[in-house]
Structure 1
Amino acid sequence: MIHPAFIKKQRIFLFILIMLIIATMIVGAGVGYASISFDRIIPTLLGQGTFKEAFILFSIRLPRICITLLAGMALALSGAILQGITRNDLADPGIIGVNNGAGVAITVFFLFFPISSDTFVYLLPLVAFAGALCTTCLIYIFSYSKQSGLQPIKVILIGVGFSMALSGIMIVLMSSADQEKVDFIAKWIAGNIWGTDWPFVLAILPWLIILIPLTLYKANRLNLLHLSESAAIGVGVPVEKERITLLFIAVALAASAVSVTGGIAFIGLMAPHMAKAIIGPRNQLFIPLAILIGGWLLLLADTVGRNLTDPDGIPAGIMVALIGAPYFIYLLLKK
């Protein structure tokens, strides 16, 4: 039973975060290489704008805004799940190699397989998921011990090792590729939001529609897994089955996000921590906040980054890393 005061506090912060997201979306829609006056955004949305205004808003700005928002939500939820099942507050899909596993699969697919423009967008999340899942399975195998179960410290250390090794593999693959394809992979590694058309929104949206409610449904199981294996077993939770299911969900969320945004780390680290600081560690309470915080952080990073320099701006992945890397060091020293 959740105390009504916590539910009220959660709703207040959900409202605040929704307002922050809307405000950032309005700013993001208006500013850029070709700007739109803020008083013209709503008329344009209602179909009363000029051809230029409609083109900028509906073909350029809104798809990018939706992609960054959805990807940030997916990465935040993935990080929250990974932190719960590994019982390690430093777990993040970008830090422990999940994102780079997806990146290697995307690199191989992009460089060596014939690509059809009709199916490329929708195949990317599946390809990324396959690479991320293989990487996660290897990390899990090397981190697990029959005597002590899943060891949180080993998850981080082995994950960082895999991340570095997979980055090296991507560089080796790039060394023999055409310049045009190398440029694409380099932008992906930097976390440059490259999926900026409506088909990319449609490619990532179904993953979130299915996996967010499924995670909220399993929130109480995640609470028990975060405590200890003995506590979970004591109340009848099938630990390995639940952990593998939740791990599968976390990998799918991270893979669907990075397949269209590039290698973005630290969102999955920061958003859950910020949500827990606001409302506490109970998953039913902090996960909805973490999802919105993750979406807002990535949206804010992309909005600021693309307007700092002309014409391409600074990739969102670099903007997030400028904040996330010091935060990771702080958590590492604290924990």
Structure 2
Amino acid sequence: MLMSPSNQFIDSAQRTIRLEIEAIERLKPRIDAHFVKACELILASKGRVIVVGIGKSGHIGNKIAATLASTGTAAFFVHPAEASHGDMGMITRDDLVLALSNSGTTNEIITLLPLIKRLGITLISMTGNPDSILAKAASVNLDTSVVHEACPLNLAPTSSTTASLVMGDALAIALLEARGFTAEDFAFSHPGGALGRRLLLKVEDIMHTGEQLPQVTRSTSLREALLVMTQKGLGMTVVLENDGRLAGIFTDGDLRRALDKGVDVRFAHIDELMTAHGKTAVPDMLAAEALKIMEDYKINALVVTDANDRPIGALNMHDLLRAGVM
């Protein structure tokens, strides 16, 4: 009985995944003294990690270099063919070369070995053949050999490139942890991303200050306070003590609750209806921390105070949304 096309697709895909999982599983015993030495050499290097590779190994090498660079290890990718035609000048004596080649005999990389040795540059190899020219020339070789490619012809780099990619990730994360790399460090490498905004943006960067800050005193009537809120457009107003310290906050939510209770807005005063003091933020607090306070206490606005509890700014959920923090 012939297998249907859809079943063939599923069988092929599942076989591919199984073979690549097996290739990754075989990496675990190879996280040994060689791996430790590779980490130590990179940590001891005064320069950058220069990753080289060609073909599919080059694509994997490019990704490994990017992962290293974004996790605290200065790194970039150099195409070995271009290195032979001038780009070798990008590599200094203080750098370390991480060379990827499944066969360990890639001509474009082997050509660079005399130059690497002459400059006294530390070489780490990542190969599928521990007995290859490249592996033997390296200070340490990371074994990424596989029993069989996921390709049924055993030709297209599949399991081998997956193994190299995973070994590169293992190397990057081991180095990250050894350096004590933090989430904030990661954000500095990704200032344009959502994580960067969440971890680098501070309350003082987005809060409303000066003339933009709605504020009234305790003795202000509710009608006057509502006019101030309308003019400033933040959906809230800060309420001040006579000495300028924070007395409370009045928001659109407080107004709705007052109306539900039948309060006559013509005669009420703000200090009768405000939320006394309320939750506050400080200028150098991360915007993400301010967001957590709002979420934890189910509020939509925060007053920003100085060391003397005097209001100097305010922000709301809309400000955090516009800033990309949420």
Give your verdict on TM over 0.5.
Answer: no
More helix by share: 1
Shorter-chain-normalised TM-score: which range? under 0.3
Scaled by the length of structure 1, the TM-score of the pair is 0.23
- Structure with greater strand share of residues: 2
Larger radius of gyration: 2
TM-score by length of 2: 0.23
